[in-house]
């Protein structure tokens, strides 16, 4: 079985609430799971202690059994100090797109034309 530690969504429309679960990767996102390991409520402030609750011992157990955390859950585990931080590299994420570059070039040309005195 390919085990995952992932988020299962609950809550109503536009009011998400997630459960951190250990599930087979073939199961549906909100479907069957083997064990509930914690909860995550993104609507609470970041400094609220109830925003993220995890049973750390059970999470360590499942990781020891070979379960792979998803990206979001691995970020939670990194913050808790359970797993070591991974290096994530997306060098193009901070670069502007083609349209933004064209707008910036157009603005620069306009500003240069406005500064040059008309003869």
- Answer yes or no: is 98 within a domain: no
Find the mean pLDDT for residues 93-111.
Answer: 90
Number of domains in the chain: 1
Is 108 within the bounds of a domain? no
In b/e form, how buried is each residue of 4-25, taking b as 16+ CB within 10 angstroms? Answer: bbbbbeeeeeeeeebbbbbbee
The whole-angstrom separation of Cα 88 and Cα 112 is 39
Alpha helices in the chain, H assignment, sequence order: 56-64, 71-80, 98-115
**Which CATH number goes with the domain that contains 71?**
3.30.1320.10
Q: Looking at the domain assignment, is residue 32 inside a domain?
A: yes
What number is the average pLDDT over the span 95-105? Answer: 91
**Residue 42, domain extent:** 3-80
Q: Write out the two tokens for 115.
A: 């500064």
Q: In the predicted model, is pLDDT for residue 118 greater than 70? A: no
Strands 35-40 and 68-69: unpaired
Query: Which tens digit of pLDDT belongs to each residue from 19-34?
Result: 999 999 888 888 888 9
Distance CA 82, CA 77 (A): 5
Tokens at 5, concatenated: 């530690």
What is the mean pLDDT of the segment spanning 75-79? 91
Residue with structure tokens 């379960």? 67
């Amino acid at each position: 079985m390919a085990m995952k530690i992932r988020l299962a969504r609950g809550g109503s429309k536009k009011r998400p609430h997630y459960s951190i679960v250990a599930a087979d990767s073939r199961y549906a996102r909100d479907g069957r799971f083997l064990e509930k390991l914690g909860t995550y409520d993104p609507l609470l402030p970041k400094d609220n202690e109830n925003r993220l609750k995890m049973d750390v011992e059970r999470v360590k157990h499942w990781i020891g059994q070979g379960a792979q955390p998803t990206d979001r859950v691995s970020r939670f585990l990194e913050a808790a100090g359970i797993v070591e931080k991974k290096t994530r590299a997306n060098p193009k994420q901070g670069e502007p797109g083609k349209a933004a570059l064209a707008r910036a070039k157009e603005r620069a040309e306009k500003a240069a034309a406005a500064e040059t005195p008309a003869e």
